Amino acid sequence: MTETKIQLKIDQRTAMKDVGTADPVLIKKRDRLKSKLDKLTAESERADKTDIPGTLVTGGSGVPKSRLKRIGRQLDRTIDRAVEYTKTKEKLDIVETQIQHQKDGPERQRTESKIADIADIMFKSIEVGDKINIGGNDIVTVTKVNKKTIVTGDVKWESEEIYGIQKPGGKLLTLKDFRPETKN
């Protein structure tokens, strides 16, 4: 193998390590969209350097009709490039969001798991006679506690629907109050 091929393989491996857990197909798509944006920007800059009559020039001003047609087509291409740039930029934003979502997946799952564990602890602490907050409704009194639901009057509530618990004579407790204490 030549030295450049070896270096290329090393560069590819390094790039893959930087990517993390994102899908390689999305990474390639992002790179293609970025290069397309760069190409559109370069074309736009190149077109801006050509001599278009300024805003103070009115009428034909001695410019041949054939040249005015070319200038009109050039302005149309500029608008088309701007539209294409905007669409490509929106696609790039979507792809980058998807990549970030994939990279954040493990952390998001850990957080959701911790919240579910805390909610389970909170649910298990509910007893008959406690008052619970069912978001948006009045605080209701628990009449029966089942394994997976709580009954208040004639209505059953699941653990996901409970936003807070108020023990008799105490303050309203939420998920924050059930977090395990951390030592510094």
Residue 27 CA neighbour count, 13 Å, CB half: 13
Residues 45 and 90 in one domain: yes
Per-chain mean pLDDT for the chain: 76
- Tell me the C-alpha distance between 8 and 86, whole Å: 33
User: How many structural domains comprise the chain?
Assistant: 2
Domain that holds residue 86: 3-52+61-103
Residues 28 and 91 in one domain: yes
- Strand 131-133 with 155-158, pairing: unpaired
30-69 as b/e: b if 16+ CB within 10 A: beebeebbeebeeeeeeeeeeeeeeeeeeeeeeeeeeeee
CA angle 153, 155, 157 (to 5 degrees): 120
Residues 17 and 95 in one domain: yes
Please check whether residue 43 lies inside any domain of the structure. yes
Residues 67 and 151 in one domain: no
Residues 37 and 95 in one domain: yes
Q: What is the pLDDT of residues 117-135, one digit of tens each?
A: 877 887 788 888 888 777 7
Whether the pTM exceeds 0.85: the reply is: no
Residues 134 and 96 in one domain: no
Is 38's pLDDT higher than 50? yes
Please check whether residue 116 lies inside any domain of the structure. no
Residues 95 and 147 in one domain: no
- Tell me the C-alpha distance between 33 and 16, whole Å: 18
